Structure 1
Amino acid sequence: MTEEQLNMTVYSRDSVAPAVYLDKHRETYFDYTDRDGFIIINEFTERIKILNKAGLDYATKKISSYKREESKEFVTKVWGNTYNLENGKIEVEKLDDSAIFEREVSEYFDETAFTMPNAKVGSVVEWGYKTVSPFYKVDDLIFQEDIPVVAYHATIRTPGAFTFRRIRRGYFNVQPEEKIEKRTLGITYNMKDSYGSNLQNSRSANLSFSELVAVYEKEDVPALKEEIYVTNPRSYRMSVIYELVSTEFNRGNKKEYATTWDEVARTIFKDSRFGDRLERTRFLKDVKETVFQKQMKDAEKIDFILDHIKTRMTWNGEYTKYAEDELDEAYERGSGSVAEINLTLIALLKECGLEVYPVLLSSKQYGIPLYPTLEGYNYVIAGVRNKGKVILLDATDKLSSPNILPNRVYNWTGRMVSFQGVSQEIDLFENIAPASTIFLKASLTDEGSIEGEYKERLSSLEALNLRHNYFAHDKSEWEEEEQEKYGLSEILNYDLEGVDAFEAPIVRSFNFKVERGVDQVGNKIFVSPLGFLRLSENPFKSDSRQFPISFDYPFSKDITINMQLPEGYKVSSLPESANLGLPDDSGTFFYSIAENNGVLQVMMRFKLKKHVIPVEYYESLKEFFKLRVDKENEKVVLEKV
């Protein structure tokens, strides 16, 4: 610890950083116990400089530890110091054991947490701790944090009996220094009798093996910055992931772990909390009989069953691919996790004679899995094969309908798993085609007010998003909020046709008036043809970009406007038409305008064909939106005759 570090008020490489990691150090190695065999030990030390009040959040540390059945990780040897400069002297205050708290977060995770004593703006806090895990999972090496990291160091030691695949995540390069070393562990084990019981005498022995030592070092790692249109920044955080490929403790006795997405899907299906749950379906007998009595066609069955599960069960907000409770328990309770609801949906569809399979996927908040792993999926929906097509269903959203799923699931791709263990990749975006089509008929008066009729047709996810917004609001205030959103002086005859028919498009219509819809200078009127429908500013303002641009989904927006001009005025200036395109045919923008017999005719077509734009196209995307904004905000000039 130095006075220079304590005197620091701003980090020179990031002047707005609330705090900065002065260093992060980690060592990971394997040990051996008689009970658990190989275990993984992690030793961490971290030192943070607090630069402003927001940085005080970094004086608190929370450490998660995983547990499953009888096995669990635990945290030990926690220590910490707070350093302050008082009257030119460095004062140190130690973390007291009584300030370290442990709690159960969930069935699978515990948490160890502490806040450093006397931490304030200007302090340097440091801590260290050790974790012990019986699970063969090397924690990810996290180089990048939400604040800058001056220096990062990690040493990872893996025995030759373990084969790991290493995957780099994020846009950075790091090459570890590697070497092979011999290591010997002194171990103690209990002798067992012929019945498998422990004898009182224990034995000692040496366990020798080779291990791969990989040393990672990185300096001046920038903070993970927030950027617009990023589904999940954690997917791009600079890190290295160790994925277990195989173990071979005895020569010729090699155990391989899931290395392809097919194997991952099959392994998940075989889990007792997944495939087995679909076999115990007697509790659905009454609903099944009702379906057969009604002699429904397949499409009617799908709608009826989806509606039944949505009505009967409510999602508790838990994301998981495994049903921790039996399906009949969740069904009787009327609530459950993603898996408990959607596996019940799958079970009922199957009972009613439909060809249905689970579809595994990773939700947006979970991130994009970069490699085959059992942890890559956190969500399951239903996929019904019908007449050569796959119909996707999710009963966790009360407003969803066949192939119109909640926005949270549209991330990456899904994987359908058959009951025989065969899997198939599913394009989640194939059948959605969200669109907004607007027709506006208006009249402009010589006093500068605009009156007219607005009609918009929203389909697919555009309609679903409007339904969510509408049903979440107070209906008595909805029209007022719509009027305010569009900046209208008056709104009349407001209607949302089809809002209660979840599979149908919504038609939004109303009459409107804008008191001051134009600018008037002398004998000229300046009017924005798209009016309250124009894109007023470019959402992409930064000079550079770290991550790919992720829109929620591909979509299209069409606007057609017919505006009657006031008598006694003629058009003296019209904007030019435009036809723009994004690289790799990712999107298009078309704009045309003309005057015909005193009527201004405007057409705007915007189409986003790909929902993810690579970061190397950012400059083109930024310019594309700039030109679009410029064009939509150009004015028509009318001159009094």
Structure 2
Amino acid sequence: MNFKRITHCLLLLPTLVVFSQTSFHSESHQVTLADIKTNTFERDTTANAVIIYEHGKSWVHPGTYKLMTNEIRKIKILKKEGFGQATVKLFLHKKSGNDYQKVENIVGTTYNMVDGNVVKSKLNKEDIFEEDYNENYNLVTFTLPNLKEGSVISYSYTLTTPQYLMWNYKGWDFQHKIPTLYSEYETSIPGNWEYNIKLVGGKKLAVNTVDVKNDCLEIPAVGKANCLESVYAMKDIPAFIEEDYMTTEDNYLARVEYELKTFRGFDGIVTNYTKEWRDVDKELKTDPNIGKQLSKSIKLEDILPLNLINSINSKENATLIYEHIQQNYIWNEKLEIFKNVSVKDLIKDKSGNVGSINILLHNTLNEKGYNVKPLLISTRQNGHPTTIYPIISDFNYLVVHLSIDGETYLLDATDKYLSFDEIPFRCLNQYGRLLDFNSGSDWYDIVPKKSDVLYEAKLHIDNNGDIVGDIVSKRTGYHAYNHRKSYFSNASAYIENLHNNAAFIDISNHNTIESSPTTPVFQEQYHVEYQGEETGDNIYLNPFFVKFFSENPFKLQERSYPIDFGYQDSYYYTLKLDLGGQYEILEKPKPLVTSLPNKAGMLFYSSSTFDNELSLTFRIDFKEAVYAPEYYPYLKKFMNKIVDAQNNSLILLKKK
């Protein structure tokens, strides 16, 4: 039986096959009694549904030369929370005229076990809806009927994609928000189209075969083409669940992607779509939003005060120029670098997008004689840019690279609370492309400085048995930025939040120490009063008046993608408690020293007494900005110890 006939059966005749097995049948689309009767998934007990089997096949139609794709899925619904898997949304490209993407042959069936019998409920055509979603897409939606816990759903459809969209051959996601037992994708690509094929997500293929089929595509009286036929498959793919400390899921979802490299027409004309970086550099140099704007000369007197124009070039004066641009031009919240970039309009309107503001900063420093270059970045939510070949659309941000006396600095003037040599957290995406239209562009590692949090508490017990004293805190790096922005944008709300986060502690006399909206260090001090829990002549005291982590952010059974903090950081807490002549220590926390594998992190906790004063030290070091997934179980245990130490440490004091 040929493939077309098999496909026809897949689409039109979903059948029920009885096997003696007692687990899910992940070898085909056919629904078995085992699929219906099996109502648990021991590998992931949190899963509310499981994709038992999915299959896709894409090929170029020999008559219309359009890209055809058949997709079929079989899904087990385990819990009510999984009912959403029965609603399918297909976003279809649209274009004026009849040349648009469309979906046909939508077939769906729900299988339920009722009183020992299998009941099938078919999807009706009137339950398939199409709407005009936006200027670029139509939306087709359908929901499988008669859903219950334990249902098995099966659906299939055929996508038709016009030839003008074949610059991006149909990719395939092997991983989803629910576990997948088997996912397979077959492709047939005529030799006219040559693609860069990229496997994303770091998971291994269970099937990876490639073959050549001769004369698979023919245009009468014009020519024939051979096809590259591939089969890719993965098995037992865990659900992708978002968790704290990650960039966009697009960096990690297991999938195969296609980017058109070359098209060879039967007329002999060859069109190259993927080029070398030297070709892209030439294009960017003449691009109206990048190269043309970067080369615009400006009058310094239109931008800077006279004292900065006449200043000698130095880091200090570069800082003053940066702060002047930062404070006098407002970012309009748009991440545009390839459209609507205009230095001229920015100077006139005092407001503009990322490209306009940071190119103005670049041009001002360049006009003043500083060594500056633009750095193209893809933000954390935009995904990692591809490094094996240039895809300029991967980038959506631009900052300024400044070199002074052998030192380099990255600058971004869009945020009034950033300090010199600090770019927004959204830009901490490991690397960018440093443009140099004379010598050629190159990749540049983004390595932020370490960020620290330090608390120093000096307390004593007063005559009423209350603990009173002062807490001083110091933050650097992104920890400083976050508090600096919060405080200087709304000081009263900041202090109110400080009170709310310390429900059992009275806070007063708050003040900042040598801090401003852009200083790299944020320091504050406040007075605290706390009444310990008395039991007779004893006081039970939790020594952590400040907690770095109230709960463990890592809750997954396993995590298949990196733990991306963005930067290295440390947390340091010291307490000195003067017991006076009234109390003595009966019990204090046990010391704790632990570390992550390869000394990638450290937790240190100790206490001592001298001259009737308790000294406590608590330190956490995360020595990597990004941890590989293999570290996840260790980080999870590590964080459990941190939270447990802060929440469950007790000091027992007894009156003398």
TM-score using structure 1 length: 0.82
Whole-Å separation in 1 of the counterparts to 2:63 and 2:283? 28
Match of 1:27 in 2: 57
Aligned partner of 1:80 among 106, 109, 120: 106
Match of 1:557 in 2: 571
Q: Name the stretch that deviates more: 11-20 or 393-402.
A: 11-20
Whole-Å separation in 1 of the counterparts to 2:83 and 2:348? 47
Q: What amino acid sits opposite 1:132 in the alignment?
A: P
| Shift in alpha-carbon separation, 1:627–1:85, aligned structure 2, 3 A | closer
CA contact (8 A) 1:593 1:603 kept: yes
Match of 2:20 in 1: none
CA contact (8 A) 2:488 2:517 kept: no
CA contact (8 A) 1:80 1:127 kept: yes
CA contact (8 A) 1:316 1:337 kept: yes
CA contact (8 A) 1:49 1:125 kept: no
The answer to whether residue 601 in structure 2 is matched with residue 587 in structure 1 is: yes
Displacement of 1:342 after TM fit?
Answer: 2.3
CA contact (8 A) 1:520 1:526 kept: yes
Match of 1:92 in 2: 122
Whole-Å separation in 2 of the counterparts to 1:408 and 1:429? 13
SS of equivalent to 1:486: coil
Match of 2:650 in 1: 635
What are the superposed Cα offsets for residues 370-419 of structure 1, whole Å, 9 maximum, x if unpaired?
54341443221111122212221112223223212211111112232113
Match of 1:360 in 2: 376
SS of equivalent to 1:461: helix
The answer to whether residue 450 in structure 2 is matched with residue 419 in structure 1 is: no
CA contact (8 A) 1:258 1:264 kept: no
Q: What amino acid sits opposite 1:466 in the alignment?
A: H
CA contact (8 A) 1:356 1:383 kept: yes
Match of 1:178 in 2: 210
TM-score using structure 2 length: 0.81
CA contact (8 A) 2:41 2:47 kept: no
Match of 1:468 in 2: 485
Whole-Å separation in 1 of the counterparts to 2:85 and 2:464? 56
SS of equivalent to 1:531: coil
Displacement of 1:362 after TM fit?
Answer: 1.9
| Shift in alpha-carbon separation, 1:396–1:150, aligned structure 2, 3 A | same
CA contact (8 A) 2:595 2:602 kept: yes
Q: What amino acid sits opposite 1:453 in the alignment?
A: D
Q: What amino acid sits opposite 2:419 in the alignment?
A: S
Match of 2:140 in 1: 114
CA contact (8 A) 2:281 2:437 kept: no
SS of equivalent to 1:154: strand
Displacement of 1:259 after TM fit?
Answer: 7.3
Aligned partner of 2:411 among 390, 393, 402: 393
Whole-Å separation in 1 of the counterparts to 2:552 and 2:84? 34
The answer to whether residue 130 in structure 2 is matched with residue 130 in structure 1 is: no
Match of 1:196 in 2: none
CA contact (8 A) 1:140 1:239 kept: yes
The answer to whether residue 179 in structure 2 is matched with residue 148 in structure 1 is: yes
CA contact (8 A) 1:571 1:638 kept: yes
Aligned partner of 2:453 among 429, 436, 447: 436
Displacement of 1:160 after TM fit?
Answer: 3.3
SS of equivalent to 2:221: strand
Whole-Å separation in 1 of the counterparts to 2:281 and 2:513? 42
CA contact (8 A) 1:80 1:125 kept: no
CA contact (8 A) 2:481 2:520 kept: no
| Shift in alpha-carbon separation, 1:166–1:513, aligned structure 2, 3 A | same
**Quick one: percent identity of the two aligned structures?**
23
Q: Name the stretch that deviates more: 111-120 or 393-402.
A: 111-120
CA contact (8 A) 2:457 2:471 kept: yes
| Shift in alpha-carbon separation, 1:468–1:288, aligned structure 2, 3 A | closer
CA contact (8 A) 2:171 2:257 kept: yes
- The gaps in structure 1 that reach 5 residues or longer are 188-203
Whole-Å separation in 1 of the counterparts to 2:498 and 2:296? 48
Displacement of 1:507 after TM fit?
Answer: 1.2
The answer to whether residue 310 in structure 2 is matched with residue 295 in structure 1 is: yes
| Shift in alpha-carbon separation, 1:117–1:577, aligned structure 2, 3 A | closer
| Shift in alpha-carbon separation, 1:389–1:64, aligned structure 2, 3 A | farther
- Please give the residue correspondences for 1:566-605 in structure 2 after superposition, counting only pairs within 5 Å: 566-605=580-619
CA contact (8 A) 2:66 2:160 kept: no
Displacement of 1:628 after TM fit?
Answer: 3.9
Q: What amino acid sits opposite 1:223 in the alignment?
A: A
| Shift in alpha-carbon separation, 1:260–1:584, aligned structure 2, 3 A | farther
Q: What amino acid sits opposite 2:431 in the alignment?
A: T
Aligned partner of 1:457 among 464, 474, 489: 474
Match of 1:502 in 2: 518
The answer to whether residue 567 in structure 2 is matched with residue 546 in structure 1 is: no
Residue-pair matches, total:
611
CA contact (8 A) 1:315 1:335 kept: yes
What are the superposed Cα offsets for residues 291-329 of structure 1, whole Å, 9 maximum, x if unpaired?
577413434653454345444544344434423444434
Whole-Å separation in 2 of the counterparts to 1:263 and 1:33? 36
CA contact (8 A) 1:23 1:47 kept: yes
Aligned partner of 2:624 among 610, 618, 622: 610
- Please give the residue correspondences for 1:31-42 in structure 2 after superposition, counting only pairs within 5 Å: 41-42=68-69
Q: What amino acid sits opposite 1:570 in the alignment?
A: E
Whole-Å separation in 1 of the counterparts to 2:613 and 2:281? 60
Whole-Å separation in 1 of the counterparts to 2:624 and 2:277? 24
CA contact (8 A) 1:95 1:116 kept: no
| Shift in alpha-carbon separation, 1:585–1:220, aligned structure 2, 3 A | closer
Q: What amino acid sits opposite 1:181 in the alignment?
A: K
Displacement of 1:453 after TM fit?
Answer: 0.4
- The gaps in structure 2 that reach 5 residues or longer are 1-13, 17-30
CA contact (8 A) 1:41 1:133 kept: no
Q: Name the stretch that deviates more: 329-338 or 578-587.
A: 329-338
Displacement of 1:510 after TM fit?
Answer: 0.7
Displacement of 1:163 after TM fit?
Answer: 4.3
SS of equivalent to 1:74: coil
CA contact (8 A) 2:215 2:224 kept: yes
Q: Name the stretch that deviates more: 138-147 or 579-588.
A: 579-588
| Shift in alpha-carbon separation, 1:630–1:382, aligned structure 2, 3 A | same
Whole-Å separation in 1 of the counterparts to 2:287 and 2:380? 24
CA contact (8 A) 1:562 1:599 kept: yes
Match of 1:239 in 2: 255
Displacement of 1:152 after TM fit?
Answer: 2.5
SS of equivalent to 1:397: coil
Match of 1:12 in 2: 41
CA contact (8 A) 2:484 2:517 kept: no
CA contact (8 A) 2:54 2:182 kept: yes
Q: Name the stretch that deviates more: 250-259 or 371-380.
A: 250-259
What are the superposed Cα offsets for residues 153-198 of structure 1, whole Å, 9 maximum, x if unpaired?
32112233554443322242213222110125443xxxxxxxxxxx
The answer to whether residue 293 in structure 2 is matched with residue 277 in structure 1 is: yes
| Shift in alpha-carbon separation, 1:489–1:317, aligned structure 2, 3 A | same
Q: Name the stretch that deviates more: 403-412 or 324-333.
A: 324-333
SS of equivalent to 1:544: coil
Whole-Å separation in 2 of the counterparts to 1:423 and 1:8? 59
Aligned partner of 1:214 among 218, 224, 230: 230
SS of equivalent to 1:341: helix
CA contact (8 A) 1:62 1:111 kept: no
Match of 2:547 in 1: 533
Whole-Å separation in 2 of the counterparts to 1:339 and 1:621? 38
CA contact (8 A) 2:309 2:368 kept: no
Match of 1:159 in 2: 190
CA contact (8 A) 1:442 1:450 kept: yes
Aligned partner of 2:497 among 477, 481, 501: 481
| Shift in alpha-carbon separation, 1:621–1:8, aligned structure 2, 3 A | same
Displacement of 1:570 after TM fit?
Answer: 2.2
What are the superposed Cα offsets for residues 495-516 of structure 1, whole Å, 9 maximum, x if unpaired?
2345533134221111011223
What are the superposed Cα offsets for residues 16-63 of structure 1, whole Å, 9 maximum, x if unpaired?
4455545543333346999xxx87554545566665366337514142
